[in-house]
Amino acid sequence: MAVVTQALRSEWTKIRSVRSTVWTLGLAIVVTVALGALISALTKKDFGNLSPKDKIAFDPTFISFAGMGLGQLALIVFGVLVVANEYSTGMIRTSLAAVPQRATFLFSKIAVAALLAFVVGMITSFVAFFVGQAMLGDYGATLGDPGVPRAVIGGGLYMTLIAVFSMGVATMLRSPMLSLGILMPFFFLISAILGNVSATKKVGQYLPDQAGQKVMQVVTVGSDTPYGPWGGFAIMVLWVVAALIGGYAVLSRRDA
């Protein structure tokens, strides 16, 4: 137990002492809230021009999370830097010498980083929701509306899982550049392409970001996904678990 406590304290010291990791968390909040507010304001202005079909499918809660797609990139960078920075600087040897139990080392790091990502994710989700609804005015929703609390809390959980997934991938790849070079295009380009091409749309529905974002949706009129909000969230959790298992397998079998 003493080893775990020391490992947790060590990881907390590492994270807060690296400015880049702290800045990425702050950037996640600013980008998500600002872009969500902008999209919400533009949506209110253009609401009268929407078709009757679009008005029925209008989801004010999800509109306020319009910046989540860009904001999650900051969480990806955070997750990668927390893990891969030690490999790029060579500090991984010192860390593993201090904590030779690799499971303790890895999951202490993930626990501390995940807690930070959770706090930032929840703050971001709630602020983005309230600011977005303020921008939407009469077209907005309230926190007491059916499905809204689940969607707002789900937004914070989604951002947390994105960071943890990135940590698992970075542990497998052991390089910040390689990890970012794969994760950024995957979430920003590949997932969007697969999800919008009819031939691959069914495959795209099971990618971690597309499945996970379902938990943030309240209005699902016209949705053709074979799962609901929590079903999509469960799919994302499976992706995260797989990434963590892969990361631990690599860490336990390879030298630092």
Mean pLDDT for the stretch of residues 62-77: 93
pLDDT tens sequence across 219-244: 887 677 889 999 999 999 999 999 99
Handedness of CA 58, 61, 66, 69 (dihedral sign): negative
The number of residues in the chain equals 256
pLDDT at 256: 58
Give the pLDDT band of residue 212 (cuts 50, 70, 90). Answer: very high
The model carries a pTM of 0.93
pLDDT at 120: 96
Query: How many Å apart are CA 129 and CA 140, to the nearest integer?
Result: 10
Give the pLDDT band of residue 88 (cuts 50, 70, 90). Answer: confident
pLDDT at 66: 94
Q: Of the ranges 40-49, 89-98, 160-169, which one carries the lowest mean pLDDT score?
A: 89-98
Asked if the model's pLDDT at residue 78 lies above 90, the reply is yes
Mean pLDDT for the stretch of residues 175-180: 92
Query: How many Å apart are CA 182 and CA 53, to the nearest integer?
Result: 37
**Amino acid in position 26:** G
Helix (H, G, I), strand (E, B) or coil at 255: coil
> Residue 131: which residues within 8 A CB-CB, separation 6 or more?
33, 36, 37, 40, 64
Query: How many Å apart are CA 39 and CA 184, to the nearest integer?
Result: 22
pLDDT tens sequence across 93-136: 888 888 888 888 889 999 999 999 999 999 999 999 999 999 99
